[in-house]
Amino acid sequence: MKFEHKPVLLNECIEGLNINPEGIYVDGTLGGAGHSIEILKKLSEKGMLIGIDRDEEALKAAKNRLAQYKNVKYVHDNHDNIKNILQKLNIDKVDGILLDLGVSSYQLDERNRGFSYLGDNELDMRMDKTQELTAKEIVNKYQEKELANIIYEYGEEKFSRQIAKNICQYRKEKTINTTKQLVEIIEKSIPKSKQNNGHPAKRTFQAIRIEVNNEIKPLYNTVKDSIDCLKSKGRLCIITFHSLEDRAVKNAYIEAKGKCTCPSDLPYCVCGAKSLGKIINKKPIIATKEEQKENSRSKSAKLRIFEKI
C-alpha cells in the first residue's frame, strides 16, 4: 500500500510557521511528507528541513516523495528526543517546528499494523516496529486494574472496567492475538443501547495505541523542549486530535508564556515570572467545513501555535 497521509490544516500550518526561506525547520512527524513538501517549496537552497519519524516505512516513503530536494535530513527517531536529535546534527536552534500528532492514514488503513478495529489482523499498533512493546502484550499481560485505567484515561471510555474485566476473563482460556478477538470482547462489554456513537471499539483501540507508543506522558516535556530549541521569533505548530493531547499542549504553552502573580499594587515584579514567548492563537484553529467534508480525519484536529521571544 502506498504511504499517504492527507495533511490536515495544511495552509494554516504553513502560515503559522511564518517561514523564513533561509531558515531551519523540523517536521517532527514526517509521515507521508504532506506538510514537509509545502515547507520545502517555501525554502531556498540555503534553508533546511529536518524530517523525523519513528516509522521506518514513513521515512522511506518520504525520501521517495522528496527526492528532488537536497536540503533535507532524515532521522529515524521519536520527536520526544528533539534536543538530542538536533545536538547530534550540530544544530543549536531552529526557526520552526511542526508536530502533527495524529496516527497516519497509512497506519490506519494498512490493516496488518493492527491500528484499525476493522478486519482481522494481528494486534500490534507499534508506530516504530523496532520497539518491543505491542498491543498484544498489553492486552494479554497487563493487570485488570491497569487495563481499566488506561482504557478510561486514554480512551475516555465509560465502560472501561467491564471491558478490562472481560479481556482478563477471555485470556484465561485463550490468548488474544487479533484485532477481531479484541473487538468482539469490547462489543460484548458495552450495552447495545450505548453503541450509537461511532464504532464501539474506537475509544479502546485509541487508548491501547497511546499506551503502546507512549504518546501522552512525554508530550508536556516535548512541547517545552521544542520551545527551547527555537530561535527568537521561531514558531512551534502542534496539531492534536483528542482532548488529552490538546490539554497537554495548551498547558505547556500557558506555562511557557508565563504570568506574573505579584499583587497589582507592587511597583515591579518580584515573583520571578519569566516568559519564553507568546501564544499566537488563544483558541485552537480548526479545519474549515470544506476540509472536514473532504477529509473526515480533520474533524477533531486542533492547531495551537507558539512563538518564542
Q: Which DSSP letter does residue 117 get?
A: S
Mean pLDDT of the region 227-245: 96
Q: How much is the pLDDT for 210?
A: 95
The span from the CA of 215 to the CA of 248, in Å, is 11
Q: How much is the pLDDT for 119?
A: 87
**Nearest Cα to 134, choosing from 175, 187, 87?**
175
Residue 301: which pLDDT band, with cuts at 50, 70 and 90? very high
Gyration radius of the chain's alpha carbons:
21
CA angle (232, 234, 236) in 5-degree steps: 140
Contact status, residue 171 vs residue 140, Cβ threshold 8 Å: yes
Mean pLDDT over the full length of the chain = 93
Q: How much is the pLDDT for 195?
A: 87
Share of the chain above pLDDT 70, in %: 96
Residue 109: which pLDDT band, with cuts at 50, 70 and 90? low
Residue 3: which pLDDT band, with cuts at 50, 70 and 90? low
Inform me whether the pLDDT recorded for 111 exceeds 70.
no
Lowest-pLDDT range of 80-94, 162-176, 194-208: 194-208
Q: How much is the pLDDT for 4?
A: 56
Inform me whether the pLDDT recorded for 218 exceeds 90.
yes
Domains belonging to the chain, first-starting first, are: 10-101+216-308 (3.40.50.150), 113-213 (1.10.150.170)
Q: Mind listing the pLDDT tens digit for each residue in 171-213? A: 999 999 999 999 999 999 999 998 888 899 999 999 999 999 9
Q: Could you give the residue ranges of the DSSP H alpha helices within the chain? A: 10-17, 34-42, 56-65, 82-88, 105-109, 135-141, 144-155, 160-173, 179-189, 202-213, 219-228, 243-257, 289-294
pTM of this prediction? 0.90
Inform me whether the pLDDT recorded for 169 exceeds 70.
yes
Please identify which residue in the block is written with the cell numbers 486514554. Answer: 154
**Residue 181 grid coordinates:** 478477538
| C-alpha 130, offset from chain centre | 19
Q: Which DSSP letter does residue 122 get?
A: B
